[in-house]
Amino acid sequence: MAPFHVHPSMSSLVGLLRLFPSMSLSTVKAFLSPPILGVVLQTYGAGNMPSNRTDILEEIQKASARGVIVLNVTQCPKGGVDAYYATGKVLLDAGVIPGADLTAESALAKLSYVLSKEEWDHATKKKKLQQNLRGELTLFDQDQKPHEQADLLAALGKALHVSSSKELDQVKEFLFPCVLCAAAKTGDISKIKNLIKHGADVSSMDYDSRTALHIACSEGNTKVARYLLSKGASVHVRDRNDRTPLMDAIKYGHVECVQVLVQCGACLNPNNADLATLVSRAVADENMKVLEAFKLAGADFNVHDPGKRTPLHLAVFLGKKEVVQFLLAAGASTATLDDLNMTPVQIAKRHERRDLVELLSHFDFKTELPRLEAVAAGAAEH
């Protein structure tokens, strides 16, 4: 803001016109007639006027065309003029300036000041009225100006018969997370950008407590996930099943999404009761992509299920040699005991899996680990 100084030469050619249901057209005409230069128009709700008073609207439009500056403020003690709704947008289209949350008193003072600045042209004066000069006006974020929101929010307001900005905020809070998640599911980044521009919170949750990042990671849409993360999406939000976006990416074997999430600080919860179950399921299904995703996320492959069986116990029991190789390369222990006090080697012997007995008994980390890591990496690619 510029340094403060007193400006005594205020314009007196301003007035305050408060709308009311039985207002006569002659009153409006008289109020807008020369030599008046500016009028503060006090409207209903969030900047609305009666839609059936086209006669008043025409007079306002004529005055605006003559150069009279009309500034729209609300009669309500709280809130402001949004110009989102059909009736409010009509005034905007007629040349009326939305005054946001200006009070009637500050609007009059500001209008009187702006009109007294002879060095400013008409366009500059209208622009100054929409700027915060001395803390009198709450500005919208650059990406959330009312005229940019008009199309989407006006449609919402009209369809749902919303009558105030507070109600519209409640609608946005309820609908935007669902629409954002739907856009993430289809990979529609342009729609996501548009929703963010209109005030959507990228970390807002839908009815299942899932965020758009949960959905993007479930679908394996790395591009959408990267964009959401660049806009501040949280990697730590848990849905109603206590799952983070990282767990969703792992569950469906979306390795690239896992890499992106880990780079942004995502990590597994070692106390998650589902962790052992999910790893065991991947072992049983021989799902190498999911196992690789777990590895990238830093999973402990020595985690055990209620029967104290580790993933390696299960892989040996099921005869999944490729999985056994992967787990050994990932650091799984061959000495862990299950609830029957058996190691994976003993299980292999009991089931006469000589190839696995050989693999487990003679596993040498120094010589075998590099080779098995290469095997595991190759398996995860298929």
Tell me the C-alpha to C-alpha distance, in Å, between residue 92 and each of 15, 71, 86, 141, 198.
19, 10, 10, 19, 19
**Average pLDDT score over residue span 119-125:** 92
pLDDT of residue 148: 43
Phi, psi of 38 (to 5 degrees): -155, 145
For the segment(s) 14-130, the CATH number from 3.40.50.2300, 3.40.50.1000, 3.40.605.10, 3.40.50.40 is 3.40.50.40
Where in the chain are all domains bearing CATH 3.40.50.40? 14-130
How confident is the model over 16-49, as pLDDT tens digits? Answer: 999 998 899 999 998 899 999 999 999 988 788 8
Per-residue b or e along 134-172, where b marks 16 or more CB atoms closer than 10 Å to that residue's CB: eebbeeeeeeeebeebbebbbebbeeeebebbeebeebb
pLDDT of residue 70: 93
How confident is the model over 79-90, as pLDDT tens digits? Answer: 788 765 555 677
Per-residue b or e along 297-311, where b marks 16 or more CB atoms closer than 10 Å to that residue's CB: bebbbebbbeeebbb
Those residues with Cβ within 8 angstroms of residue 79's Cβ, 6 or more apart along the chain or in another chain: 45, 46, 101, 164, 165, 166
* 126 neighbors 24 (Cβ within 8 angstroms): no
Sign (positive or negative) of CA dihedral 323, 326, 330, 333: positive
How confident is the model over 225-256, as pLDDT tens digits? Answer: 999 999 999 999 999 888 899 999 999 999 99
pLDDT of residue 136: 81
Query: Three-state SS for 44?
Result: strand
Where in the chain are all domains bearing CATH 1.25.40.20? 162-269, 271-381
pLDDT of residue 293: 94
pLDDT at 209 over 60: yes
CA distance 189 to 204: 17
Q: 162-269, which class in CATH? A: mainly alpha
Tell me the C-alpha to C-alpha distance, in Å, between residue 325 and each of 282, 287, 350.
14, 13, 19
Sign (positive or negative) of CA dihedral 51, 53, 59, 60: negative
Those residues with Cβ within 8 angstroms of residue 258's Cβ, 6 or more apart along the chain or in another chain: 246, 249, 250, 293, 296, 297
* 257 neighbors 289 (Cβ within 8 angstroms): no
Residues present in the chain in total:
382
pLDDT at 149 over 50: no
Q: Partners of 259 in the beta sheet?
A: none
Query: Three-state SS for 353?
Result: coil
Half-sphere exposure of 333 (CA within 13 A, CB side): 12
Q: Which fold has domain 271-381?
A: 1.25.40
Those residues with Cβ within 8 angstroms of residue 118's Cβ, 6 or more apart along the chain or in another chain: none
Instruction: Check residue 77 and report its DSSP letter.
Output: S
CA distance 113 to 93: 25
